[in-house]
Structures are given as structure tokens and as C-alpha cells.
Amino acid sequence: LKVLVKPRVRSQVEYMTSASAALAHALRVSQWAKLGIAQNTSARSGARAIVHALGVTTVSWRSCSLQLAEPCEFPRGRGRRCRAVPSSPPVGASAHSFMKKLNIPFQGGHLAGHSAKHIWLRRLHQERAAIVDLVEPPLPLGSPASSPCGQSDELVLDNLEARSCLEPPKLSISLTKLDGTRQAFASLHGELLQVGADAEGIEKDILRVHCVLKSKGAFESESEKLWYWIDMYMRRDGDLAREAHGEGADALAVLDSRLFGIWGILLEDIPRASLLRWEHEPDLLSDAIKVGSLKQFLYGESRFPILSNQARKSVRSLNLPVIEKRRQLAIERETQNAAMREYLAEQEKLMSEGRGGTSGKKARIWMRWVQDMAAKIEDLRSGAWTPVGKGSSALRSLRSEVSLAPELLAIITCQTLLNLIYLPVYRRKNNYRHNDFNQHSDPIRSRDGRVPFVTAVVTVGDAVALENSWRTIVGERKFPAKRLPAMGGRMPDHIQKTMSVPLGAALVDLLLDVAMVEVDHDSVPSEELEEIAAARGDLRPPSSLRIAVPAFKHGKELAGKKTVGYIELRDCARPQLDFNDLDVAALAATKFQPMVIQPLPWRPSSEKAESPYMLHESPFIRTKNPHVTCLRVYTPERVARVMDGLGRTPWRVNSWILEQMDRVRELDLGIAEVPPKHDPDIPSLDLPDTASEAEQQGLRIRHHNAQKRCRELQSERPTFELKLRVARDFLSAPRLYFPHNVDFRGRAYPLPPHLNHISDDICRGLLTFADPKPLGKEGFFWLKVSLANLLGKNKISFAERVALVDEHKDRIIDVAKDPLSKENIKFWASADDGPWQALARCKELAEVWASDDQEGFMSGMPIHLDGSCNGLQHYAALGRDEWGAKAVNLTPSDRPQDVYSIVLDIVKVKVEKQAGTFDDDDASTESGVKNMSAKQKAQRLIELGVLQRKVVKQTIMTICYGVTTIGAQQQVLGQLEDMVGDRVEQDELKVLATFLSKLVLKSIDEVFERAMQIKVWFDQVSKILNAWERPTNWMSPIGLACVQPYKKSRTVQVVTKRQKVTLMDDDGPKVDKIKQKMGFPPNFIHSLDATHMMLVAESCQREGITFAGVHDSFWTHASDAHKLNPIIREAFVDLHGRPLLEELYKDMSLHLGGQEKLPPLPQQGSLDLSLVRESTYIFN
């Protein structure tokens, strides 16, 4: 059976149908079940399976024929148009017998259902592409005689057929314009998804494009004309259609849409050398392997179309704004459905290589779960399995609630659950350390390898519901393009938890049933064997050394007074999965990436709200309850413009720092927050009976600390990998932008989560300003101050800091040359406030010193000006507190004041007083650390030498933000663990932390008396509002409506197979009075520091100064630091020059409507705010 398109005969093509057409129709007439093939099998795999099911014994590429094992007769009947011209029949079969075998409508030698040759071609060419490789010879490359336009007996296309199949894509937005709303870009994304769905037809389309371009002479003059046409195409030049005679312009549009929609390659990125190759290699832009090589050359290691430095040299820059827009759209599209693409690519690779599941333990384990789980879902939907008993209603929801393919449901479930188990940092916003102090409050989340059952169920259900909604609305295109709703990452309003949770529960239950791993029998504890055997029967024949056990187990335990269910990965299953750091990082597909164009302007409160991304939707205010943002009734226009300005600050990745991080990881040095590759050894608790109490105590401490470190590393490794992966993706980008939004208090946060300047030292060290400025004399001064600050020398004058850096000049230069020598590591890796940032400044200072023109040196290194305990600065200004203002540098002084040392001195006096007194009532005759007297505790603190500045620093920093007694205990405990945790047991540390934290809080009250009076007034106001069930809310000085979103939860129960799931709805009708009261003081202060930052940002935008803000830390170029300092002071005076407390009093009174009178405002002190303008060290 042969496909034959004869050589060109002017404007006509004679052709004949064959196995290719028959198979293509078989894919459309639902013959899958008859041939025993799954309905969701891909077109290419399905075609091959059909051929084998029909008994094909040989495939001859030379004669283009298929030989069938069983020839059969074919009844003739009436025919229609689109005649199938017969050719010499193959041995043993005919087209008639082939089509009869498939039961395809075929009458009188004609294919039924088509009316015209070219209509048939257009409808068939995509489907034929799926099977053309089975019935047509592969095209030899590099030979003009065998090209699609050559004269041969293989597949040949003339201009007529090429034109009939190369209609320009009908897209809602032109790929060379890209102007529109986010809804329009969502429509464009859906249309490109349809283009991408025909990935197997791209070869035919691009071969036709090649034919048309060659016939138009585009490859003449070493492809100079084609390059010129691409230039005109990107400029939307109307002369292109005239010069390329119409068809050439259409061919470029088709080529662009196919490359962009399927391969993620930008047409303008293809270098001239590749265009020259394409003339003689027609499949250069369609063959997957060759396209992959081209992408590797163009984009290097990046997952996104960002030109590598090597490729940038060989690509002609068109310097058009639309180029970077196209790049940005491609990046946003690439972040969609990452897990699905990776899985399908892995499956296709394994299938094509015939290796099954041999590509690694990860693929071999959870891909098998996907297959088993998909089979059970298919049985459930077909009626082969009917669930009964507990949880059956949730399982039955899989039949009607979602239309997603079983494999897709299984993929979402597997990856979501593994993500939750292996990335605990993304289940918890707070730092993962110091969680042992109050462990009973959350016993499940504090453990590695576990996830609460409710969390798993809700997360899986939400993911499935969102995917189902996206596929339904955008994928199937049930609405016109202009009416497509915006479908970013937000859960649509019509999807309720009561619908998604049963889906999640059913899928999680199925996964727990099918997720099996094979392990050594001896590796499974005997009690687990008994438990598994009771649930599933005997798992091991008597002679077997390996058994299959469930990978996960479901259990319950007490969390306070409640019984909480959890899912845990079995210890014996963990080595089988063997997830390395890169595997775990790949599981967490992020939605928001840095942008390569300036973010689009925010439109936060219009009916058609717009966000900074082209395709992604993002909220302007971060909150779980969008309706409390009040954006429907007012416009925070001023705040939105500030966020636009922050997002337009350009950044780039520091390649030298990235290289050093890779070296530290490869050498496994375990320094500067780079996690080591291996967990520390956990010492056994077995000791001989003769061991002393001190030896037993030391062993217990080492055992506890090793376990704790192992838990921390489980989170730190994948988090570190995620940061480095994003840095590598954007390493070659000349500019990066971080769009910002705000929380309900007005604090600004970048949207990209893994790499941004607000994150930890690793991220900050990786980033530098993209547009350097001449250093100048002032800049050189501030660059040295910045390094001294990072080394922890920020409590001396600026002149002393500069002198300190000059003193270590030789060491700094040596560090820049060889940062990983033992002596140099000691210098920079121990920097108190950021080792990687310190190393980056050492490198730049060494380059400045080596420069012939130091003042003209182009510096992009950010300089930080940080507030001196900024929360207490705002409290001191609100209360006009002279003593407090002096302690936090609001008033002028020769040297920076250290509020932490001031409070520490008071704490030392209290401790020494306790240690030197004796009270009979305080004495205790009972032994044990819990019965220590105050004198004993004080003496123990002095003996251990822990009365240091860092012990009190965190509590002082957070006192104005509402730190509680328990919170202060935890903070002090964390510091004590770091200092003496290796020689003092945990129980004694907790007792000492409780005692010391109380003294710290009392000392703070003495220093900041007026601040504490204001805090008490805040508590009284929130108590009154709570009585009226009103959330505490106020207008920030910059015009943002701040509403505390704390409400009491409502509960809804869903019965599942394994347990009841209680859903907590955070948006109940009543306010959470405790959270409202505790949150008001810190949230109001946060709204003030956010306002201050925005005022500074506005001034910098007017002055043309590059600005970035991290709450109370303001960044700019070294050359502009001397300009930023007075701007900060002036903005602070302007802010607190307003009667802020009086305005708040009137606002609250208005809310109460005169129904209740507020308590009078606390009395203010006599601080002269104008002194702030003279304070050198307010932000130092």
C-alpha cells in the first residue's frame, strides 16, 4: 500500500489513498476498543498499535508497502468524489481488504465522507502525519534530489498543495504585535495550545513552508533574502507581502506559529548559519532531535527562550520591543503544565528507546503508580468496578465530576502528594527551624516525610478542579476567543471545596492503594509486616527475600486535644524512591518567574483588573479573602504606581557568584548556607551500663541535634536547588524584572518566589543591578561601608568602617582571586549579615582597586541602608519619645546607638541581681531542671556565658510587631540552642529560655515606655471593635485600605474511605477576636513602614535614582547612596509630621458611628522631629 504524490504537474497533483489514509480514518471512527487499544493512546502510538493489530508482518520503506498476513475480500458499492487512484497492489493484500478489516466507510473504490480534493487534504494532512512514518520512507537529508521540491518517487508536494495547507494561523493577537489585555493573551495561549496539540503534524507544515520559501527564492544569496524577510515580518512591514508574493509571508507566519507554539523557539533567534543549513536539510526545524540541538545551542541550560551568551554573538539583533514581549510570553507559556510535559516527554523517550522504566528509580517507581492508578480509574468509569462501603460516594465522584483523562488525574495526584511530602518548606511559611519548643501544637508538620491527610486531600482536589476548569474553558474552546475568561492560577469562583474535596479524597485513597514498592523483607519492621498482612493478606511466599509493600501509610495521632490523620512515607520505601535534590526541585513547578520585559502596569480595581504578567493572573493584594480588600469601591492608584516603579528596577544574575556556589556544592564544603550533600551520622543511643550521666547526656544531645539537622536538610536542599535552577535559567538574560504586589498592610513583595532580592543571602548574592553606574568618590566610600556592614561591623562610625576595609585590602584581593582557600573562607563565609553578599562585594572591590580609573568604574552592586530597629523607630516617633528615639538613632549622634546593647545591659543587671540574692520562698527541695530556683537559673546563665547581644536582638526587633511571651521564649531558645545546644539538654534550655525571655520583655518595657503605652491603646481599640464583630481596619497614610482578614473558621465534614475530612473555611461570619487583637499593633506599624518605603520610592523615581526596597532596608547604586540617605530622613519626617494617631482615632470613631467612645490617646513626649533630618545613622 503506497502513498504516491507524482512529480509536479503544473497546478494539479495526482495522488492515491492507501494505508496512511485508512489508518488516519481509523483513528476517527472509534475502532480503538475493537482492536484492544486504549482510547487515550497518542496518535503515533495508536497508529503503530493498529498496524500490528491488523497483522502487519513487514514494512518495506523502499517500496513504501505494508504486507498483511490475512488478505480478505472487499464488497463494492456506490462511491463519491475524491477518487482514490489505484496503484500496483502489494503482495498479499489490497487497500480494499485493509479498509474492510477496519470497517471504514469505503464505497466503490472511493473514500466516503469527503467532497473535494483540497478540502480532504486540509482535513487529513494533520492526521496522516501521525502515521506517515509507517508508510512513507524517511526523507534523506542534504540531498537536493531528495528534498520535498526535488524530482523523486517519494512524497513530493507542489505549490498548489503547499498553498492549500499553509493558510496563516488565525490568532486573536498577532505574534508580531502582542498588544492586548490578559484575557486576550489567555485566548492566544489557548489557540497556541491547539497548535501545540498537533506536534506530530509540524513536520509536514514546515516541509511545506520550506517548499514555498524555496520556490520564492528565499534561500538565494546565502539566505540573505530570507533573513531580510524575517526582519520585515517582525516589523509587520506591508512590503513583505508584495516582495514575497503573498505565499512567502503566509509561510513565515505558519513557520513562526509552529516554532513558537510547539518548540518554544523564536523565529528571530535562528542564526543565519542555521538558515543556510535548512536549505539543504528540510527537516532541520521539524525533526525533534535536530530542533533539540538547535535549542541547546540557542538557549543553553535555560528552560526558557533566553539566548545564551554564545548564541547571542551569532544572532542578528533586530532591537524591536516586540522581540522581548515574545520572549516573555514564551516564558510564561513554558511555566504552564510543567509536570505534565515532563511526564509525557519521559514516557515518549522510554517508549522510543524500548527501555520501559529503566531511566532511573524515580521514573521506575511513580510512573508505575500512574499506570496502575489510571487503570483503576478507567475500571471505575467503565463500570467494571463499583465501589461500596465507606468512602464509596467520594470514589463515585470520579465518574461524573471531572472529564480529565485517567493518566492526567494520576499524574496530578502523584506529583502533588510527593511535592507535599518532600518539600515541607512550601507547606509552612515560617522558618523550618526551632520548631521543637512547642512541638505539641503541630506534631505532624514538624516531622520529615509526612503531610496531614486533610492537606493532601484539599491540595489534590484543588489541583484537579483547576486543571479540569482550565481544560474545559480554554482547552476545548467552548467560548469565542474574545469571551474566554482569565484562567491563571486562581481557583474559579464556581468551584467549591465541597466539590473538590471528595475528588481529592478519592484520588488520594486510590494512590495509597496502588502505590507499592519492592523492598527487602528484612528492611520492614515486624510490626509493620503484621499491620500490612492484616490489611492486604500475606505478602511474601515462604522462599521470597523481597516483598511488595505500600509506599505510604495512613495514621492518626493526637495534636493537642484533636486526633489528626496523616500520610507518611514508609522508611523502607524511602531508599527505593531515591529522590535526589534535582528530582525534588523538578516536582515543584513554579508559576511566576522573573520577567524579561518591564512589568505591565497594575490596574487593581477596575472591572477588568490587569496584573504585571501577560498571561498569568495575580492579585494586587495578597490575602485569602479577596472581598476584604475593598478594591471594588476604591482605587489604590498611588500604591499601584509605586509597585509599577519597584517592578521596573532591572536586575541580572551574578555569574561569578553562581559559579562559586556550584563549586562549593561540588566540593561539598557545607558553608555559607549551601547544604551538604550527605546527612550527618546519627549516633546510636546504645551505651554500656557503666556510662556516666554526663556521657549519657552528651550522647542524647548529639543524637537530638543530628536528627534535627537531618530534618532541616530535607527542606534546605530542594529549596537551594530551586534557587539555583532559576538563576541558571536567567543567567544570560540582560535584564530581569520582579513585579511586586502588596499584602493587606501595604508591604511590598516580589511575585517570583524562588529568586528575588527580598529572599535570603543566597538569592541576594546572586543578584546585581543590570544597569551599572560610574562609582565616583562617594560610591567607593559606600561600597566599603556596605562590606563592613555585611561583616557585622555596623556599630562603629562610617569612617571606622571604611578604615577597617582598607586595613583588610590584601585579604579582600586574595579572597577575590581564590575564595575557597581555607584562610579566605574564614574571612567571608562567617560574615554575620550575608556571606555571599560579602563575597560579591570583595570581588567588586578587588576589581575597583585594580582599575586605572576607580571613580569611573562601572558598579552595579546594590548598597543597603537598613533601619535601626525600624519598628521601634516608628513607635518612638508616634509617641514623641525622646529616650526611645535616641536608642534607635532618630536623633543625631557621633556613633550609631545600639538598642540591643542598651537592653542587654539592663538584662545583665537583672540577672546578676537574681544570681546574688537568696529568697527562702524561692528555694526548692526537689531536684531536676524544672524545679530550679530563680537564683539557680540566673547563675546557670552566667556560667554558660549566654548573656550576649544576639540572644536579645530578635525579641527586641519583633516586640513592636506583637511578639507574644511564647514567641519570645522560642526566639531566645533558638539562640541558646545555637550557642550551647551541644552541651546542654533540651529540657534545661527550655527552662532557661523561659526565664531569660521574661527578663528581656521587662527590660524592653523600661526602655520604650511610651511605645508600650501606645501598644496598650491599640489593644483597647481592637477589643471595642471585636465586641461589635467588626474587623479592625484603617486607611494607611498613603491611601491603602487596610483590613485585617482574621475571621473564625466554619467547618464542613466530608466522609472518605479512611477518615472524615473536616474542612475549615477561613471566611466565616464572625471575626477571630484573639487574632484581631494580637494583630493590630504589629499590622499598623507595618502599614507605617510600608508607607515610608513607598514615599522614598516615589522620591527616587522623581530623582531618577535606582531603588529597591526590602521593607525597612532600602537599596540603590553605590554612587547614589549619599543621595538616598537624606531622602529617607525627609520621607520619615513627612510621614510622622502628620497627626497619625489623631487620624486613626477619628477613623475608628467613624467606624463605630458614635455607638461607643474610644479611650483617649496616650500622652506624647517632647521629641523634636526635625532632629531626624540631622541623624546620620537613622538608616545606616
Write out the catalytic residue numbers: 866, 953, 1112
Grid cell of 478 as nine digits: 467552548
Instruction: Tell me how far CA of residue 1082 lies from CA of 670, 958, 1005, 1087, in angstroms.
Output: 36, 9, 16, 9
Rounded Cα gap, residues 142 and 281, in angstroms: 5
Report the DSSP pairing between strands 1050-1055 and 767-769: unpaired
The number of C-alpha atoms within 13 Å of 327 and in the hemisphere containing its C-beta is 26
Grid cell of 223 as nine digits: 539566505
1100-1116 as b/e, with b when 16 or more CB fall inside 10 Å?
A: bbeeebbbbbbbbbbbb
3-state secondary structure at position 40: coil
Cell numbers 554526663 correspond to what residue? 694
Instruction: Tell me how far CA of residue 739 lies from CA of 324, 601, 614, 755, in angstroms.
Output: 16, 10, 12, 12
User: How many CB atoms are closer than 10 A to CB 117?
Assistant: 18
Rounded Cα gap, residues 1016 and 1002, in angstroms: 15
Question: What is the helix (H) or strand (E) element at residue 661, kind and residue range?
Answer: helix 655-667
Rounded Cα gap, residues 104 and 25, in angstroms: 7
Rounded Cα gap, residues 501 and 1063, in angstroms: 9
The identity of residue 1180, as a single letter, is N
Rounded Cα gap, residues 831 and 225, in angstroms: 58
Report the DSSP pairing between strands 767-769 and 862-866: unpaired
Helix ranges (H only) for 1028-1164 are 1073-1103, 1121-1136, 1140-1152
Rounded Cα gap, residues 443 and 634, in angstroms: 43
Report the DSSP pairing between strands 621-622 and 740-743: parallel
What is the phi/psi pair of residue 647, to 5°? Answer: -70, -20
Instruction: Tell me how far CA of residue 186 lies from CA of 257, 262, 469, in angstroms.
Output: 16, 17, 14
Rounded Cα gap, residues 79 and 551, in angstroms: 59
Q: For residue 1080, which of 999, 1128, 1147 has the smallest C-alpha distance?
A: 1147
The number of C-alpha atoms within 13 Å of 920 and in the hemisphere containing its C-beta is 0
Longest dimension (CA), the chain: 115
User: How many CB atoms are closer than 10 A to CB 449?
Assistant: 17
User: How many CB atoms are closer than 10 A to CB 850?
Assistant: 11
Rounded Cα gap, residues 205 and 212, in angstroms: 11
Beta strands in 369-509 (DSSP E): 450-452
Grid cell of 944 as nine digits: 554558660
Instruction: Tell me how far CA of residue 358 lies from CA of 253, 363, 1019, in angstroms.
Output: 41, 8, 63
What is the phi/psi pair of residue 793, to 5°? Answer: -100, 55
3-state secondary structure at position 564: strand
Q: For residue 872, which of 1014, 994, 746, 1019 has the smallest C-alpha distance?
A: 1014
User: How many CB atoms are closer than 10 A to CB 386?
Assistant: 10
Rounded Cα gap, residues 968 and 991, in angstroms: 13
Grid cell of 373 as nine digits: 492508578
